[in-house]
């Protein structure tokens, strides 16, 4: 049973555009909602994370929007750059971030 689903599976955005990736989950016990960025052949790196007591968090060009009632959260990348081309995973967890449940992944390509 896949508890965490991302959409879209892949995304192509023009340089300077906005990339939006969505994550839907089923487990209402999740209390930590991070997004990870992974380049080919590398381990994932934490990009940004949010706790359920806030609905939005912004760090530079990256924003998380959280909708608790809909059991969804999304990643917005403003002014997308070719260097943002990577695979993005949401990975919600219980226990404040211990056991992460990785989503299905979204492959982002930013074109010039």
Partner 1 sequence: GAVVSQHPSRVICKSGTSVKIECRSLDFQATTMFWYRQFPKQSLMLMATSNEGSKATYEQGVEKDKFLINHASLTLSTLTVTSAHPEDSSFYICSAREGSGRSPLHFGNGTRLTVT
Q: Which residues bind partner 1 (CB under 8 A)?
A: 32, 34, 36, 41-46, 49, 89, 91, 96-105, 107
CB of 112 to partner 1, least distance (A): 24
For partner 1, which is the closer residue by CB, 17 or 109?
Answer: 109
**Residue 83 DSSP label:** G
Residues forming a β-bridge with 88: 37, 106
Is the distance from CB of 108 to CB of 21 less than 8 angstroms? yes
CB of 26 to partner 1, least distance (A): 15
């Amino acid at each position: 049973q896949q508890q965490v689903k991302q959409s879209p599976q892949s995304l192509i955005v023009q340089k300077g555009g906005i990339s939006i990736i969505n994550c839907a989950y089923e487990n209402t016990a999740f209390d930590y909602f991070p997004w990870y960025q992974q380049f080919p052949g590398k381990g994932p790196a934490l990009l940004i994370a949010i706790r359920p007591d806030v609905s939005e968090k912004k760090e530079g060009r990256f924003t998380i929007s959280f909708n608790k009632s809909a059991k969804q959260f999304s990643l917005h990348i403003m002014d997308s750059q070719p260097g943002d081309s990577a695979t993005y995973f949401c990975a919600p967890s219980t226990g404040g971030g211990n056991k992460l449940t990785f989503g299905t992944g979204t492959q982002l390509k930013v074109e010039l």
